[in-house]
Amino acid sequence: MPRKFFEGHVKPNYNDWLAAPLDERLAKNAVADVNNMAARVFDHWRSQGAAQVFGVKNEGEYRNALAAKECGDFGLVRDVAEAHKHVILDRKSRRLTRSDQTGVAQMGYGEGGYGEGAYGCGDQLVVELDDGTKRALTAIMGNAMDMWERLLNSWGM
């Protein structure tokens, strides 16, 4: 059941990372589980032929649909997770290519999304996209977590 996985794995890993936001190991564990939720949800709904999977045929298409229709930052979570696993990505829909594009860094004023990241431009985990854009991992993950909470609640799970 997706809610059980979310409550038992995703949220604890996410909260552990938030308690130590510069710990890359905890961050990557949290990123992996937020990404893995797609597999749990796809499997749950696919077996029932439900509309919640957007009519797609496989898990990869489901991840693309989530990023396009529910939360663009879920696509970045997927990229960070898969880059960590495979080191280099060649999937056309990616927004980053290499695992070393996520790490401890600082973002100056005007870098990253408005209101994202560490106050005073301190150290934080930063994702640098292929186009040079920088994003705070905390903001990306927060948006993806909000998506899962919203979807699980709307499904009554």
Token couple for 77: 């979570």
Token couple for 36: 């893995």
What CA–CA distance (Å, rounded) separates 54 from 139?
26
CB–CB of 139/145 below 8 Å? no
Mean pLDDT value of segment 46-65: 83
Average pLDDT, the chain: 91
Instruction: Give the model confidence (pLDDT) of 102-151 as tens digits.
Output: 999 988 766 666 556 655 568 899 999 999 999 999 999 999 999 999 99
Q: What is the pLDDT of residue 57?
A: 86
Q: What is the pLDDT of residue 112?
A: 63
Q: Give yes or no for residue 24 having a pLDDT over 90.
A: yes
Q: What is the pLDDT of residue 117?
A: 61
Beta bridge partners of 106: none
CA-based nearest residue to 138, from 153, 126, 150, 154: 126
CB–CB of 27/137 below 8 Å? yes
Q: Give yes or no for residue 95 having a pLDDT over 70.
A: yes
Q: What is the dihedral of CA 63, 40, 144, 83, to 10 degrees?
A: -60
CB–CB of 97/130 below 8 Å? yes
Phi, psi of 27 (to 5 degrees): -60, -45
Mean pLDDT value of segment 93-99: 94
Token couple for 1: 């059941």
